[in-house]
């Protein structure tokens, strides 16, 4: 008997047996969410993964092995090492999708989404949300963004499930912010949605809800404190200071008066995200579906309060409070860095908004024993949720791939244009490989545009996707070196100042006119856009 037990114990330690047992222990819901996210992720983003479609920042980051400690991102070099420091679309994309899928599986667990169709739609909505397309345009950083998301979500997942998860969660929050600070907003919104789900579902006692809420509050405070402590240590150790770029050096330094003044703006910006064309150029029918989602959220919340008798518990007072502060949580970056130029990448938490009807719908119709009317209402609402989610995720899918098409067309146009410029440079009789080159300005100018006419306006609100591919010296150097195979000798700052002063007198033509590429005081000047 002893020998038999020993044989079985050793058998369990074999890789095949161990992995099989661990996989079987993973819940069906977790596996469904993970693999659904992987499938939808590859379907949506494969064009980006099998092509090299850079944006301006990616041009100069083909190999990036330094840390942005001065931007408060002290964990970035550690996280990026997983896929190497090269900007490799397929490798980086696969790693990023793996962590994204894990995050989505944990989100399903945190929000206790049970219906298989809702689990699948959670994966579809979160993997197609166009902010991922914007993030993947920064391919050298794409895995970092998804690891930051994974760390913030896992922090909440651990905190909710285990009492000791509070300490691991604080570490996760700190490291997540050490990758990309914007994901603290994702964690905050996820906490609020989790509390709202627990209250409306009414399957946990008041004591449990309050205890988990307290743990969420503690993990956030401890995580942020730990982040700032490590940031201070790293800056001190390497004798660095925070950059003033995007107001990073002023992050968190907001007066009470300024904080209160921002609140109305935050509410306006929250609704503008959905119903204006500031970021996403949505057709009218999609904006109508957004309004339907707002309606469903309101209706499901009321039904859940009544049917689950939430009004009999003290936690009912938290429902209007949570719903009231939710727009502020979505706009938390306004309060963190009020001097920053806000762009699409700073709002990853908005993806969670589209998951709200899924778990609120389940909370509203959670009881198995229902009357005929309740069954009809459940079936009707379930179909509405599924159809709306499918249409919105498909619209996200289209938006993401139009974004990739824009990157592709912009790259082709830029490649052709820069090749023509290089030919002009090399054909000049006074040019040698050691001649300093000065690119004056960037496209577009009055004579020439490198923006794809078919897609440029559609992606104008998507940072990383929009704008010019080459617009300063490092862009030109990166493009010529990595995509044209030519090492250019850029003019120094002193040479630049000297030539720019002289150009005002010379009245030099602009590209592509004859004379727009010429030698000035021994410097090859490419006059693209002097204004």
pLDDT tens for 123-164 read 999 999 999 999 999 999 999 999 999 999 999 999 999 988
Nearest to 177, CA basis, from 68, 259, 102 = 68
What is the pLDDT averaged over residues 198-222?
94
- β strands within 42-174, DSSP E: none
pLDDT digits (tens, 9 = 90+) for 98-124: 999 999 999 999 999 999 999 999 999
pLDDT score for 334: 86
Share the mean pLDDT of the chain: 90
**Dist CA 324 CA 313 (whole Å):** 19
pLDDT value of residue 1: 46
The set of residues, in sequence order, having a beta carbon less than 8 Å from that of 70 and lying 6+ positions away, is: 235, 240, 241, 242, 243, 248
How far, CA to CA in Å, does 379 sit from each of 29, 354, 443? 21, 20, 55
For the ranges 10-19, 121-130, 456-465, 520-529, the lowest mean pLDDT is seen at: 10-19
Using the predicted structure, report yes or no on whether residue 339 has a pLDDT greater than 50: yes
pLDDT for 399 beyond 70: yes
What pLDDT is stored for residue 168 in this prediction?
Answer: 95
- Comparing 7-11, 491-495, 518-522, which segment has the lowest mean pLDDT? 7-11
Query: What is the Cα–Cα distance from 307 to 305, expressed in whole angstroms?
Result: 6
Mean predicted confidence (pLDDT) in 269-288: 93
The pLDDT > 90 percentage for the chain reads: 63
Nearest by Cα to 100 from 153, 160, 44, 22: 153
Extract the tokens encoding 16.
């095949």
pLDDT at residue 7 is higher than 80: no
Q: Please tell me the predicted confidence (pLDDT) of residue 501.
A: 84
pLDDT at 428: 94
The CA distance from 324 to 88, in Å, is: 43
Q: Which residue has the higher pLDDT, 243 or 82?
A: 82
Lowest mean pLDDT among 223-227, 236-240, 386-390: 236-240
Read off φ and ψ for residue 520, nearest 5 degrees.
-130, 115
Mean pLDDT of 405-433: 94
Q: What is the pTM of this model?
A: 0.93
Mean pLDDT to the nearest integer, 339-347: 83
Least trusted range by pLDDT, from 10-19, 118-127, 290-299, 438-447: 10-19
The whole-angstrom separation of Cα 503 and Cα 99 is 51
**Confidence category of residue 330, pLDDT binned at 50, 70, 90:** very high
Per-residue pLDDT reduced to its tens digit, 471-486: 888 888 999 999 999 9
- Residues 423-436 have a mean pLDDT of 93
Helix axes 284-307, 318-330, angle to 10 degrees: 150
DSSP single-letter state for residue 250: G
User: Which residue, among 81, 75, 82, 80, has the nearest Cα to 152 in the 3D structure?
Assistant: 75
- pLDDT for 368 equals 63
Mean pLDDT of 459-471: 88
* 523-527/517-520 β-pairing: antiparallel
The string of DSSP codes covering 198-222 is: HHHHT-S-HHHHHHHHHHHHHHHHH
Q: Which is more confidently placed, 398 or 338? A: 398
Question: Stretch 204-232: mean pLDDT, rounded?
Answer: 95
When pLDDT is averaged across residues 234-239 and rounded to a whole number, the result is 91
Instruction: Give the strand pairing for 523-527 and 437-440.
Output: parallel
């Amino acid at each position: 008997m002893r020998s038999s037990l020993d044989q079985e114990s050793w058998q369990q330690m074999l890789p095949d047996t161990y992995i099989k047992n661990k996989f079987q222990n993973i819940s069906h819901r977790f596996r469904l969410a993970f693999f659904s996210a992987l499938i939808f992720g590859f379907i949506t983003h494969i064009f980006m993964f099998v092509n090299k479609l850079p944006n301006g920042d990616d041009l100069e980051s083909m190999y990036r092995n330094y840390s942005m400690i001065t931007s408060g991102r002290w964990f970035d070099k550690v996280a990026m090492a997983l896929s190497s420091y090269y900007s490799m679309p397929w490798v980086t994309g696969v790693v990023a999708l793996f962590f994204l899928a894990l995050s989505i599986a944990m989100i399903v667990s945190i929000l206790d989404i049970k219906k298989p169709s809702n689990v699948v739609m959670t994966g579809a909505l979160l993997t197609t949300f166009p902010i991922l397309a914007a993030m993947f345009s920064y391919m050298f950083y794409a895995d970092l963004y998804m690891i930051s998301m994974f760390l913030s979500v896992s922090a909440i997942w651990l905190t909710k499930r285990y009492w000791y998860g509070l300490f691991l969660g604080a570490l996760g929050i700190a490291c997540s912010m050490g990758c990309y600070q914007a994901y603290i907003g994702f964690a905050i919104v996820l906490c609020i949605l989790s509390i709202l789900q627990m209250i409306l579902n009414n399957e946990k006692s008041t004591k449990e809800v309050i205890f988990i809420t307290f743990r969420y509050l503690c993990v956030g405070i401890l995580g942020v404190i730990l982040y700032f402590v490590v940031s201070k240590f790293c800056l001190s150790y390497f004798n660095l200071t925070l950059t003033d770029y995007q107001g990073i050096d002023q992050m968190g330094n907001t007066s009470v008066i300024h904080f209160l003044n921002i609140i109305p703006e935050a509410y306006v910006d929250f609704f503008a995200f959905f119903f204006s064309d500031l970021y996403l150029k949505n057709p009218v029918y999609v904006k109508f579906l957004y309004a339907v989602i707002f309606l469903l959220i309101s209706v499901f919340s009321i039904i859940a309060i009544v049917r689950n008798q939430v009004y009999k518990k003290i936690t009912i007072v938290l429902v209007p409070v949570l719903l009231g502060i939710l727009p502020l949580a979505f706009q938390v970056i306004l309060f963190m860095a009020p001097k920053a130029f806000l762009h699409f990448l700073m709002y990853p938490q908005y993806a969670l908004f589209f998951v709200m009807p899924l778990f609120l719908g389940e909370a509203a119709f959670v009881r198995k024993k229902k009357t005929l009317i309740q069954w009809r209402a459940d079936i009707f609402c379930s179909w509405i949720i599924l159809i709306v989610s499918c249409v919105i995720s498909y619209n996200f899918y289209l938006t993401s791939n139009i974004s990739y098409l824009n990157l592709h067309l912009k790259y082709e146009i830029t490649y052709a244009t820069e090749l023509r410029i290089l030919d002009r440079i090399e054909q000049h009789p006074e040019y040698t490989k050691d001649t300093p080159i000065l690119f004056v300005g960037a496209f577009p100018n009055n004579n020439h545009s490198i923006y794809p006419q078919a897609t440029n306006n559609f992606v104008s609100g998507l940072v990383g996707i929009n704008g010019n591919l080459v617009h300063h010296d490092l862009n030109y150097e990166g493009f010529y070196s990595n995509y044209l195979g030519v090492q250019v000798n850029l003019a120094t700052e002193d040479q630049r100042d000297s030539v720019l002063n002289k150009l005002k007198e010379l009245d030099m033509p602009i590209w592509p006119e004859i004379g727009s590429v010429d030698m000035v005081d021994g410097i090859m000047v490419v006059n693209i856009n002097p204004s």
